[in-house]
């Protein structure tokens, strides 16, 4: 009975906040995925992400958006400390340590890759249902179908 199976995610980060190079330079090449303030994205982290899940690290809101690396979820979800910090742009006055509203997971770099641009992703019919490519989708975290993960990591990542 195997209730827990590996999942795959595309997680967006603005390179001005945390780029793939920033992640590569961090201690243990690990970062807390802080500052998510969308309930659906939070729920993905809090309720579905498991240690070992695969992550496509996506640069967003920049000149050249696209997948810049492969990472893995390396911690269970825990309260995002920025929600309690009055000096943080992510401060939430309704959150308390007893009843946190926002969560994050830690993400660890597996491999920096040559950028796979959003235009490149759009050019493959195999990725036509990729949530990030859907009109109106602005979620910073989206689940990937295992077939999408496999196509991207085996066909598009340059070895």
In a domain, 47, yes or no: yes
In a domain, 158, yes or no: no
Residue 147 host element (H or E)? helix 146-151
In a domain, 12, yes or no: yes
In a domain, 153, yes or no: no
The CATH number assigned to the domain holding 55 equals 3.10.590.10
Take residue 50 and report the two structure tokens written for it. 């498991």
Which pTM was predicted? 0.94
In a domain, 80, yes or no: yes
In a domain, 155, yes or no: no
Q: How many CB atoms lie within 10 A of CB 101?
A: 14
- What range does the domain containing 136 cover? 8-147
Model pLDDT for residues 6-22, shown as the tens digit of each residue: 899 999 999 999 999 99
111, 69 contact by CB (below 8 A): yes
Cα separation of 41 and 77, whole Å? Answer: 12
Task: Please count the structural domains in the chain.
Answer: 1
Model pLDDT for residues 36-60, shown as the tens digit of each residue: 999 999 999 999 999 999 999 999 9
């Amino acid at each position: 009975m195997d209730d827990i199976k590996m999942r795959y995610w595309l997680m967006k980060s603005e390179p001005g906040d945390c780029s793939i190079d920033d992640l590569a330079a961090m201690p243990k090449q690990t970062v807390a995925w802080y500052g998510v303030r969308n309930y659906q994205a939070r729920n993905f982290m809090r309720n579905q992400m498991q240690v070992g899940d695969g992550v496509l690290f996506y640069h967003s809101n920049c000149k050249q958006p696209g997948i810049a690396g492969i990472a893995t979820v390396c911690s269970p979800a825990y309260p995002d400390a920025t929600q309690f910090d009055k000096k943080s742009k992510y401060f939430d006055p309704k959150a308390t340590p007893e009843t946190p509203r926002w969560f994050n997971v830690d993400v660890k770099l597996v491999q920096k890759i040559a950028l796979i641009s959003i235009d490149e992703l759009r050019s493959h019919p195999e990725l036509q249902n990729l949530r990030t490519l859907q009109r109106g989708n602005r979620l910073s975290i989206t689940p990937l179908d295992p077939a999408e993960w496999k196509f991207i990591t085996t066909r598009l990542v340059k070895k």
